[in-house]
Structure 1
Amino acid sequence: MPFPPTPTSESSSHTGQCHCGGVRFKFTISPPLHQYPVNSCNCSICSKNGYLLVYPFQKDFSLEQGHDLLKEYQFGSKHVWHQFCGECGSSCFIRIPEKSALLPDGSNSIAVVNTRMLDDFDDEKFHINKVDGRSF
């Protein structure tokens, strides 16, 4: 499957928040989440934070509340910013800069969302795609 997956005629909308509720967001994703391959990566930060990631287009994502609470963390080669709530510590998103070598051409307008923050989180309905990030 291409990364990110090719949108279909179907989509699903979701809301989410950090543990304390200070950071709130919403997004629409296509294909719908129950068909979307959710990435489970074995790299050090994804493993420690329990990330299960999806990649909606930035135009379909909005941060509704908590801009002032978000903190950022970078490590290693410092190519991405892991964003978390400064109040409760929940790992919410990963911000990838535009024109990053980590993304294929044309995908620099995606958001990276930790599905564990979703209000309707149910990993039993996910199609989990294991990613060997430890080897990167």
Structure 2
Amino acid sequence: MNAHSGGCHCGNVRLTFETGLDPSQIDVRACQCSFCVKHGSRAVADPNGRLTISVKDKSRLRTYRFGLRTADYLICRDCGVYVAAIAGDDPRAIVILNTLDDQKSFSREPTPVDFDAESGEQRQARRRARWMPVEMSFG
């Protein structure tokens, strides 16, 4: 597995994205919802990989839900960086490419995607299939 580390600007949230894929093989998605557009986010995931999120101070992490309210968008309260999104009972996640230290090694052009027409069930099924397992730790 290749490990790609990163995190928010102030260091409260640290990430490790593990994947067996070379960064040049990973699709980069540019969601066209108003939240992602306003953040300029580019998201990556590997269903066979894993995302580990370590939060130093949980009180400095904000979760935000909107639309169908099917995912938690993780934002550092101090520096304002959107780092990842997590969804589902068996949590699956995407990581925001902008937060990875080696983001430039992900060479694919972002593909614009629009999921506004999905039902809640369709959205959850897509995330189970395309997002990756996630583990969070605090402290």
The letter of the residue matching 1:34 is S
- Structure 1 SS opposite 2:103: coil
Distance 2:97 2:35 in 1: 15
Residues 1:132 and 2:122 are matched in the alignment = no
Residues 1:94 and 2:85 are matched in the alignment = yes
- Aligned sequence identity (%): 27
Unaligned 5+ runs, structure 2 = 119-139
What does residue range 100-119 of structure 1 map to in structure 2 within 5 Å?
Answer: 109-119=91-101
Partner of 1:32: 22
Residues 1:84 and 2:71 are matched in the alignment = no
Q: Deviation digits for residues 85-112 of structure 1, max 9, x if unmatched? A: 01111000101122xxxxxxxxx55321
Unaligned 5+ runs, structure 1 = 1-10, 99-107
Would the aligned equivalents of 2:63 and 2:75 in 1 still touch at CA under 8 Å? yes
* Corresponding pairs, count: 117
Q: Deviation digits for residues 30-81 of structure 1, max 9, x if unmatched? A: 3222210011111111101111111245972212343512210111221111
Partner of 1:71: 62
Would the aligned equivalents of 1:58 and 1:109 in 2 still touch at CA under 8 Å? no
- Please identify which structure carries the higher strand content: 2
Distance 1:19 1:85 in 2: 9
TM-score w.r.t. length of structure 2: 0.72
Residues 1:21 and 2:50 are matched in the alignment = no
Partner of 1:46: 36
Change (3 A) 1:120 1:61: same
Distance 1:124 1:26 in 2: 15
RMSD of equivalent CA atoms? 2.4
Partner of 1:62: 52
Change (3 A) 1:123 1:112: same
Distance 2:96 2:111 in 1: 14
- Structure 2 SS opposite 1:112: strand
